[in-house]
Structure formats: structure tokens, C-alpha cells
Amino acid sequence: MKEKMNALKVEIEEKLGSVTTKKEVIDLKNNYLSKKGPISELSGMMRELSNEEKREFGKSLNELKTEVNRLIQEKLTYYEEEELNKKLASEQIDITLPATKIPVGAPNILEHIVEEVEEVFMSMGYDVVDGPEVEEDKYNFELLNIPKGHPARDAQDTFYIEDENILLRSQTSPVQARTMLAAGGNKPIRMICPGKTYRRDADDATHSHQFMQIEGLLVDKNISLSDLKGTFDVIAKKLFGEDIETRFRPSYYQFTEPSVETDISCFACKGHGCSLCKNTGWITVSGAGMVHPNVLKNCGYDPKEWTGFAFGFGAERLAMLKYGIHDIRTFYQTDLRESSVFDRKEV
Ligand code: DAH
């Protein structure tokens, strides 16, 4: 029996020495250490031995069992470690590899220009306010000195909703009325309101049924046209460059008196004449004027005590001039290469 045991030990050692995978070790374990395996078989044979022999053989058999267990465990540990190392090696991050380029968005050009204008005005103490796009006739026209049936309404081909009192605002000027009414007629006001506006225009390179205006209003005591001129001068220089000159031309709006068109000297040709300024050396950028006394009165301000100026920029026009864009539809299409500030250069 002793010989059988020694032979078994040699056999197991040999087999363990030639295994190449974890699975083979596990198979070996199942084979030799199971209840029906050769070691159990040997212990079964102990019944035939004397007590003395039983004690001695039992001890050796236990030692064999322990040893075989140890050897198998050693091999198992070896293969498990190898497996783990392989896994770790395959999951290693090579920090020297070039990073995957993540595509980033870019702001829409209109939004960009509006933010630029907002920043300039905020630096001069103006608030940025908001107003509804679905507006009442009262704010869009009547309080602004454009009564029902007045021919001045024809200039703004308006989208009416349901009846003649609710409309899509055709200008951002109603926010002037709303702001004055909310202020209660006894506080100075400095505000701009950028926002969407709508007119029943057929879309082409220079018209869009939806466009954006930036309205401005300043109300205080002793405000004159020269304050408007000074303010416009600062804004124009900040937006288009320090060497820009400005001028006013007489114009007509129902809600301002006097009314002006504000021009800047052409930044592309420096006033010499080019296609951008149609050879005049000047570019019109906004309508403006002194708030009409009727408008002040309609909105709760006493025109004997208070005066103010107002202006309205077309945001698309500003962006088109600044970035050399020739078609207003560019802002409302989905081609991001065109409508974002990505790759855009100022003129
Ligand atoms: N609302 C005018 C328009 O849509 C633009 C404008 C002109 C606004 C003069 C003003 C202003 O506030 O004073 O054509």
C-alpha cells in the first residue's frame, strides 16, 4: 500500500508538472481529490490493516492529501495570477496616445453679436430686458403713437393672431411701452431689449419673416439728441473699431420726434467707397430718435419733466455687416458651418 501511495504521489506530481492551463489543474483536482478518486480509494483500503498500521498509514495518507492539495493550490494560484496580469496589461491606459478629438459646438453668429451688444450696453449701465413675442396691438402700435387705421402701420406688414388685437410683434419697440408703464412714470430708465420680431415678408437675401431687433430706451431728465449722438458714437466704436465715425440723417418714425437714421463710416473701405457701402462711404445701422411726447404721456411719463431717446438695431444686419454675410437666410438654416461663429472672420 505504501508503494501504491508513493506511486500515486509521483504520478500526481508528474501530471501537475505537465499541465498548461488552469482548466487542466481543475480537472486534475476533481479527478484525484474527489470522493471516488484514488486517494479516497486508498483510505478505503485501510479497513484491511491492523490498528497499528492504520495509524501509520492514515497519517501518511493525510500528509499526501495535504501535499497534493498544496501543490494543486499552488498551480491554481499561478494560473489565476497569470490571468489577472494579462487582464491588467490589456486594460492598461496608454497616456501617451493622442486623445480622441471631441467635436465642440460654436455659438450661433446672431447670438454672438447680441451678446456683444449686450455687453457694451451693460458696461454703460443699461439693463437687458425681455418682452413677449405674441403681443397686444396696444403695445406694438397704439401706445407708440400709431393708432388703428394709421398709414404708418402699412410699413410693418404684421402677422395677426385670431383677431386684430393679438399679433406677433413686428418690432421690439413695444418693450419700450411695457418698460415705461412698469417703471410707473417716476424713475429714469436705461434698457435694451434684444428679441425676435415678425413681419409678413417674403423671404429672400435681405428679408426674413422672422428677424431680430435690439431695442434701446433711455428716459431721464434733460436728455437731448446730443446724448443719443454721444451714446451711439461710443457703441459704434466699441462694436466696429475706434476709427469709426458716426452721423445722423433725418428720418421719420411715429414714436420719435425728431427721428434719425444712424450711420457709421464704412469700416471696409474707411469711407472711400466700396460695394459694402454702395460707394457712399456710410452704412446705416439703426433707426433712432427722441421719444415722442405722446409716447411718454401714453406710458405714464410727464413729457414736460422727462425726455428720452430710443433706438432700434437690426441684429442680422449688424452681423451681416460685421462678418460679410450676404444672405439673411444664413442665420436660419441648419448648416452650422454658415450660421455659427466657427471659422468666421470679421470684415
Ligand atoms: N421699430 C423700428 C422699426 O422696426 C426701429 C426703431 C426706430 C426703433 C427708431 C426705435 C426708434 O426705438 O427710436 O423699424
Query: Would you give the end-to-end CA distance of the chain in angstroms?
Result: 102
Number of H helices and E strands in the chain, helices first, is 11, 10
DSSP annotation of 48: G
Centroid of ligand 1 to alpha carbon of 213 (angstroms): 9
Length of the chain: 347
Centroid of ligand 1 to alpha carbon of 193 (angstroms): 12
DSSP string spanning 172-232?
A: STHHHHHHHHHHTTSS-EEEEEEEEEE--PPPSSS--SEEEEEEEEEEESS--HHHHHHHH
- Please report where in the chains the cell 462694436 appears, as a residue: 239
The reply to whether ligand 1 has any atom less than 6 angstroms from the CB of 325 is no
What pLDDT does residue 342 have? 60
What pLDDT does residue 326 have? 86
Measured from the Cα of 213, ligand 1's closest atom is: 4
What pLDDT does residue 341 have? 67
Nearest CA to ligand 1 atom 2: 312
The reply to whether ligand 1 has any atom less than 6 angstroms from the CB of 179 is no
Centroid of ligand 1 to alpha carbon of 2 (angstroms): 113
Nearest CA to ligand 1 atom 5: 312
Q: Which helix (H) or strand (E) holds 5?
A: helix 2-18
Residues near 212 by beta carbon (within 8 Å), at least 6 away in sequence = 110, 114, 194, 195, 196, 197, 314, 315, 316
What pLDDT does residue 324 have? 85
pLDDT tens for the chain, residues 1 to 347: 778 888 888 888 898 888 899 999 899 888 888 888 888 888 888 888 888 888 888 888 888 889 889 989 999 999 999 999 999 988 888 888 888 888 777 788 888 999 999 999 999 999 999 999 999 999 999 999 999 988 878 778 899 998 889 999 999 999 999 999 999 999 999 999 999 999 999 999 889 999 999 999 999 999 999 999 999 999 999 999 999 999 999 999 999 999 999 999 998 898 899 988 999 999 999 999 999 999 999 999 999 999 999 999 999 999 998 888 888 988 887 776 666 766 667 76
User: Can you tell me the distance from the alpha carbon of 100 to that of 58, in angstroms, rounded to the nearest whole number?
Assistant: 66
- What 3-state DSSP class applies to 297? helix
Nearest CA to ligand 1 atom 7: 287
Residues near 33 by beta carbon (within 8 Å), at least 6 away in sequence = 39, 65, 68, 69, 72
- Of 178, 249, 253, the one to substitute when testing ligand 1's pocket (max ligand atoms within 8 A of C-beta) is 253
User: Can you tell me the distance from the alpha carbon of 229 to that of 260, in angstroms, rounded to the nearest whole number?
Assistant: 10
Q: Compute the CA torsion angle 336, 339, 345, 347 (nearest 10 deg).
A: 160
User: Can you tell me the distance from the alpha carbon of 164 to that of 161, in angstroms, rounded to the nearest whole number?
Assistant: 7
Nearest CA to ligand 1 atom 4: 171
